[in-house]
Amino acid sequence: MLPVKASNSVSVPSTGMKKLGESAEKRHNGRVDLYWVADEKLVAKWFIPKTVRLFGDWPSQGIASRCAILQAEMLEWAAGREPGRNSFALGTIGWICRAFETDADSPIHERRRDTRVFAGNYIRHLVEAAGDERMADIIGRDVRRWHRTWANEIGERAAYAYVRTLRRVVNCGCELRDRDAIELAAVLSKTTFPQPRARKLRPSHAMIVALRTAPHEAGRPSIALAVTLQFELGLRQKDVIGEWDRPDAQARERIGGAITDGAWVWDWGLVWNHIDGTVLRKPTSKSNGHEIAEHDLSHYPELIAELPPRGVGPLVIDERSGLPWRRSHFSRTFRGIVRACGWPDGIWNMDSRAGAVTEGFEASATPADVMRAATHTQLSTTMLYNRGSVVQSGRVAEIRAARRKAKPSP
């Protein structure tokens, strides 16, 4: 007897394949559906798919072979290797998601590791929600319903990210000239969704000053240095502390002279070679090094006060490990310190960049200069980081009042 998922039981001839995760479900009309079911412990660790519908008569060698393949893929995933086969039915959301992640020419491979990780998380949830849905059957109303469900369960921002991820994987299907993907992409292009509200919070200069003492007292001066670099120069966190990536074996063999930790390689962080005299020139990670952040540090005495004596290698080092920070460890340590300084949890470390842009606008810097300092290529992007309101609207009011005095109304 195989495990039964419904209240009604069904007898299925035993062939010793139960250990491969087969399950049977009897419908009210008497039809028996067979499923392969993944190990629940691996599902808890985000393995997908959780179940796969099996088609055909039982017992049969075809179903047994299909179960053996699915089981091998699951065990291969558990061993830390990506399966070589796409176990989803052709034309389904699960199939196109799997192709997006594994196809050698997929655009996802051109992205940085953190982007690939975030995309993978969204894809796993997308597959869980709609992996068995056929693209040919999906209409805009279906996606709207999914979006409403996601927004209620996990929030507007994550729901919008799921829709964006769906569009990206479907566009990948367009590159493969899959007809169903092309038709669904056209539907998604005409289906609009409310964008999440823009973030409004950002740290002020006073908050940054209050933060600098606590990290030193906690033996973590690198936290004060990192946040000061981000706020004063408008740098992204990744361009300050870098990121750890795990290249494949062939790429790893080509890397020499890098900072490593086992199979992990550090990249994109700020190093002393980026500073020549008082001028800092840092290729930005967002642009894959095409844009350069340039700053004369002599204009930032508070930042210079945080800099350690000149050395070699990374500027910002985890005091405990002696290596550059891991992103998750940095975030946890940062949060503990800023809470002690009175920062609300709603202000994140990445908001330091918005704080730099906003302070520039509040100081009456020209939009073009602020855009260049932030290494943006479009002013519209810069304005998304401008979170000032009262100071800037007050300045507009002063200008209007001065004009009225100088030129009486007719």
The 3-class secondary structure across the chain, one letter per residue, is CCCECCCCCCCCCCCCCHHHCEEEEECCCCCEEEEEECCHHHHCCCCCCCEEEECCCCCCHHHHHHHHHHHHHHHHHHCCCCCCCCCCCCCEHHHHHHHHHHCCCCHHHHCCHHHHHHHHHHHHHHHHHHCCCEHHHCCHHHHHHHHHHHHHHHCHHHHHHHHHHHHHHHHHHHHCCCHHHHHHHHHHHCCCCCCCCCCCCCCCHHHHHHHHHHHHHCCCHHHHHHHHHHHHHCCCHHHHHCEEECCCHHHHHHCCCCCEECCEEEECCCEHHHEECCEEEEECCCCCCCCEEEEEHHHCHHHHHHCCCCCCCECCCCCCCCCCCCHHHHHHHHHHHHHHCCCCCCCCCCHHHHHHHHHHHHCCCCHHHHHHHCCCCCHHHHHHHCCCCHHHHHHHHHHHHHHHHHCCCC
205-346 is classed CATH 1.20.120: no
* Rounded-to-integer distance, Cα 403 and Cα 176, Å: 61
> pLDDT tens for residues 222-257?
999 999 999 999 999 999 999 998 887 777 777 777
Q: Select from 3.30.9, 1.10.287, 1.10.150, 2.60.40 the CATH code of 89-197.
A: 1.10.150
> pLDDT tens for residues 179-193?
999 999 999 999 999
List the single range of 131-135, 248-252, 321-325, 386-390 with lowest mean pLDDT.
248-252
State the pLDDT at residue 79. 66
Spans of all domains in the chain: 1-87, 89-197, 205-346
> pLDDT tens for residues 212-224?
889 999 999 999 9
Cα–Cα nearest to 364, from 400, 391, 402, 383? 391
For residue 85, give both structure tokens: 């086969």
* pLDDT at 276 exceeding the cut of 90: yes
> pLDDT tens for residues 37-68?
888 877 766 677 788 888 777 777 778 877 88
* pLDDT at 9 exceeding the cut of 50: no
Specify the pTM: 0.68
List the single range of 101-105, 183-187, 313-317 with lowest mean pLDDT.
101-105
Helix (H, G, I), strand (E, B) or coil at 283: strand
For residue 298, give both structure tokens: 């002599």
Which sign, positive or negative, has the C-alpha torsion 119, 121, 123, 125? negative
